Structures are given as C-alpha cells and as structure tokens.
Structure 1
Amino acid sequence: MADRRLVNGTVNAAQFGEGPAIVLLHSLLSDRASFDRIVPSLAKTHRVIVPELPGFGGSDAVSGGLAAVADRMAEAVRECGDGAETIVLGNGYGGFVALQMAIRHPGIAGRLVLADCGAAFSEPGREAFRNMAMAASTKGLPAVTDVAMRRLFAAEFQEQNPELMRDRREAFLRTDPVVFRIACEALATLDLRPAIGGVNVPVLVLVGEHDEATPPAMSKELAAGLPDARLVVLPGCAHVPQLQKPDVFLDAISDFVSAAMAR
C-alpha cells in the first residue's frame, strides 16, 4: 500500500493489511525497512503501520528532544490507530519513543512491545552516545558507521550476511546527521525510571541476548519497573532481532499480540 501522510503531512507512514492496528517504530541506527521481514506475517491479522520517525526519510524533524518526538508520534498513532486496541512496537530508539509516548499520553495504546531498549543507560552507555554524537558532528556519519553496525549486529552475523549489511550501511548513511546527533545527545541524558510506574498497560519487553547497544540488564530493569510487564530474552539475537531472526521474534510476540485480539 502507498505511504500515508499523517499529522498534517509531517509523518510519512506505510500501511499493510487489515484488522487491529499495530504501529512499528524503528531504531536510531536503522530505518523502517528493519521491519520488512516481519510485516508480511503481521499483516495477515493486523493493519500494520510503519512510520518513519521525525527527521527520518520523508518525516519532518521536530525540536524539543525525545519528548517532542514522542508527542509527534502520539499524534500519528491517534490518527491511524484504534485507540485502546492499538499495539505499539518499538525497537531500540523506537522503543524509547514508544515508552516516552505511553508515559506522556496515557491510553494512547492498549499494549506495548519494547524490543531492545530500557528506561535509562549506564554511564558507559551514555558515554558511547556522547562519543557518537561528537564523531558524527565533527567527522560525519561515515566515521561512526562501523560502530553503528557493531551495535546492531554481532560480527558473525555481519560476516554471514554481506548483502544485508551493505543495505544496512547505506540506510544508516542516509540518516540526517543533525537528527542523529540530537537523538544521541537525548539518549545520553535520558532517565525514564521515575515515570515508568505509571504505564498501566500490558508490556512485553524483549531483548537479544547478545545486544551490546542496550544490554539485557537494561531490559531487566525496565521490566521490573513496569506494573504489568513480561521479559523475554531472545537467544542468538543482538539489537535488531526482527531482522536477524524474524521467526524467533514473531514467535516471541505471537501470544501477546493475539491476546489483544481475543479481548
């Protein structure tokens, strides 16, 4: 299906299938194509909306940090979703956006799937974002591409999938460097831990066991702080499990997604 223009034309989104809405929010180091391997299966039972986050692809950027990004995406979810029946699934940066959105806009979705994110980074994690922001600002995105790919995929996976890695590198290099820097700086200071206790919807927290960008400890802390959350560690996966092992990812979310339809 052709792209839709949401929120007064500021958010570009693709839509597939029919049924209850599920909105997929991509990571900072990737783009919405990172969901291509799971969309066909989800579209058999759902209306799948895959937006480009503000500042990515055809979506307009916003000022005001992660809160402003979350507000813009909340508008998009209201416009294309089904209210309390909507599921929002975020990966990496998209997971942080989804969590912030749920905190700032209670009732925006009936269920959340938060894959490979957390509520706050450790100091080494914050330092990594500060370093990437500085390198991108002074040397450009090519200077951080190798680091970005290591954060997304384990070395063995990169070696075994050269064509996919070529595509992922090209996608990363299309990112607006200013948007990337601002997002890195926002993640380096983010701490949502004081607010996650107010997220009163079911949440499925997923994390790849080999995720170096947002290590499993972050997801464990997130799940422990949410009122209604279940944690699943995905074996053999890193930061983008839906692209690395789509069948494993789909199996992990199947019951949770189906439970929303059964209500």
Structure 2
Amino acid sequence: MTSHLKCRLAATAVTLMIVLHPVASDAQSVPAAAPKVEAGATQMPHISVQTIGRGTPVILVPGLSSPRAVWAGVVPTLAKSHRVYVVQVNGFGGDDPRANLSPGVLDGIVADLHTLIATSITGSKLGKPAIVGHSMGGLVALMLAKAHPEDVGKLMIVDSLPYIGEIFAPGATVAALEPQAKAMRAGMAAAYGKPANPAANAALAERMALKPASRTAVAGWAANADARVAAQAMYEDLTTDLRPAMASIAAPITLVYPWNAVGPTKPVADALYRKAYATAPRVTFVDIGDAAHFVMLDQPAAFQAALDAFLRD
C-alpha cells in the first residue's frame, strides 16, 4: 500500500493528515469568546440535532471535525420525502464542547443517538431509522448498530473502516497502535487556543478532497473545530476495533467508498473495502470515482444517486 493511500484512508476516521502529518494539528483557531448556539437545534450532551422535512426518518452523522454542513448538498432533496435529523458533534462547527471535553466522546454520541431514536425527545419515537455516517460518523453508526440493533433500520457507511489500524498494517491491533494514538492526542490537544495555520489546513484539505470548492470548505471546518474534542475523538477512533463485531451486525449496510487516478485506484480501493466488510452479513458496495474522502462534496450527483438508491431499497 502506498504512503499516499495510507494518508487518504487515514481520513476515514481521523481528519486525514492529523494522523500521519501532525503539523496539521496546529491548524486550530483561537477559541471564540462565546460559542454559538444554533437556532432550532435540539441540544444533547454530546451532539445537537436539527430536523427538517416530513416522512420516514433519516439520521445524518458527520465525521471528525466536520459540522452538519457537510450534508447541506443532500438535505433539501431528502427533506421532500423524509424527516431528516442532521447531527453535529459538540465542539465541531464552532459549537460548545459540552460533555465532549471528557473521555467517552464516541460512546457519548452513541448514547445520544439512542436517546434520540428510542425516546420522545423530538416529539415521537423514530422506530428503526436509516442512518448515514461519514468517516468517524460511519464508525459511530456501526457502534450504534452493535450496541442497539433495535435502533437501526439500515446503514449507509461513507468511507469508513471497522478498524482504522488496518491501514497501518494488516492485522494491526489496538494495543500496537495505542502508544502512537496517545502521542497524537497529546499533540492535537496542545494546539487548542493557538492561531490557525491556513497553510496546514489547506494541505490537509488537499488530501481529503479533489475539487477546489470542496477543499476550501474542508479547510474551514478543520480550523473551526475544537482541538481538544478532535484530539480525544481521534484517539477513540484509533482505539476502537469493530472487526470482531461485524458478523453480528444484522442491519443492511451500504458501503460507499471513493477512488481516483492518484490513489487509491479502483482495484486497490475495491480490495481494501471488500476485505474490511467481508464478515458483515448484508453489504452492498458502491464505489464512486474521481472523488476523495469527502465524496459528497467531490461528486454530489453520484453521491445523491447512491443515497436515493439506499433509501429506496
């Protein structure tokens, strides 16, 4: 596997080159004096949720350091026939970190999603909604399906792996990766309160997206994320291994993954993702070419078509 492929796939869980190029951890803005609170959002300890539309429920979960705006291109169409619940992790998008300043960020997100689905917090129980998760959000969606299978109708996982350690070495274990994960967490958290580094953010975004507009958006999101929350969430992502649980996840999975001419090429991407999800009982693989990690930004029409097919089936 080439170093470029490792870089691109690391973004699946951890805001790409923060993992392999720690210089990107300096690209954090000085914290705002008064964190914003979005109008119309239901606030929970680890996430906030905005709702729009009517119909069958769909929950959209963004990845590490990404705000809910990552889904802006698909929400208007979805809302015509679905009740859409758009998640934002506290500490990203300029939001107050709230409970995410303590360990247990990913488990906390799972708990909040369970509360959202299983109680009347939004006025009615959601039953078994479709859940769409990108990157770290994909890992969280798999964690929810493992912990609360009764909450999940079906899953769309967008460029995420059951265990990110596989990109470093086949068969890698959490124990082997944990020392590096701890060091990266410390380095990222130390960037909190320091001035943003636009050049580092731009370099990060260049590896995560192909289109100029996509890269501009990604760079801005990285700069606006709370470094402390990103550091802890990254550590938890790197030390969460769902490979043993994949065979028990009964919910249908649609796995969307990108490829491009620079890398990974289609044959390499096909092999990686099919191997990673080989033990899951019900998986549909959807590859989207000429795209990088933020496939919904690079190829919005193809991603919308994949999402429509996922919800229709």
1:59-98 pair list within 5 angstroms? 60-62=98-100, 63-78=103-118, 79-80=121-122, 82-84=126-128, 86-98=129-141
Q: Distance in 2 between matches of 1:146 and 1:17?
A: 35
Q: Distance in 2 between matches of 1:205 and 1:194?
A: 18
The aligned counterpart of 1:241 is: 295
Distance 1:175 1:255 in 2: 32
Give SS of 1:61's match. helix
Of residues 161, 186, 196, the one that matches 1:118 is 161
State how 1:126-165 maps to structure 2 within 5 Å.
133-139=185-191, 142=196, 145-154=201-210, 157-158=211-212, 161=213, 164-165=214-215
Structure 1 equivalent of residue 40 of structure 2: 3
Amino acid of the structure 1 residue aligned with 2:67? D
Tell me, in whole angstroms, the C-alpha distance in 2 between the residues paired with 1:20 and 1:59. Answer: 30
Q: How many Å separate the matches in 2 of 1:99 and 1:179?
A: 21
Q: Which runs of 5+ in 1 are unaligned?
A: none
1:43 aligned partner? 79
For the residue of structure 2 that corresponds to 1:113, the secondary structure is: strand
Any conservation in 2 of the 1:206–1:219 contact (CA below 8 Å)? no
TM score, norm. by length of structure 2 = 0.70
Aligned pairs, number: 249
Distance in 2 between residues matched to 1:251 and 1:202, nearest whole Å: 18
Structure 1 counterpart SS, 2:81: coil
CA offsets 1:120-158 (integer angstroms, 9 cap, x no match): 12253869966753542344584652453134213xx23
Flag the structure with larger Rg.
2
Change (3 A) 1:181 1:46: same
Q: In 2, distance between residues paired with 1:35 and 1:16?
A: 13
- Distance (Å, rounded) in 2 between the aligned partners of 1:30 and 1:98: 16
Which residue of the other structure, out of 231, 246, 264, is the alignment partner of 1:181?
Answer: 231
Q: Secondary structure at the match of 2:254?
A: strand
Instruction: Give the aligned CA root-mean-square deviation in angstroms.
Output: 2.8
| 2:284 alignment partner, SS class | strand
Q: C-alpha distance in 2, partners of 1:108/1:222?
A: 23
Q: Taking every aligned residue pair, what percent have the same amino acid on both sides?
A: 24
TM-score using structure 1 length: 0.82
Check 1:201–1:175 CA distance in 2 against 1; reply closer, same or farther (3 A cut). Answer: same
The 8 Å contact of residues 118 and 221 in structure 1, kept in 2 or not, is answered as no
Residue segments in structure 2 that go unaligned for 5+ positions in a row: 1-37, 170-176
Structure 1 residue 242: Cα displacement: 1.4
1:231 corresponds to which letter in structure 2?
F
- Is the 8 Å Cα contact of residues 29 and 152 (structure 1) preserved in structure 2? no
Change (3 A) 1:203 1:65: same
The one-letter amino acid of 1:82's match is L
Counterparts of 1:191 and 1:207, CA distance in 2: 19
1:250 is matched with 304
Distance 2:60 2:258 in 1: 18
Partner Cα separation in structure 1 for residue 182 and residue 232 of structure 2: 10
Work out the CA distance in 1 between the residues paired with 2:117 and 2:272.
Answer: 26
In the TM superposition, residue 198 of structure 1 has moved relative to its aligned partner by 1.3
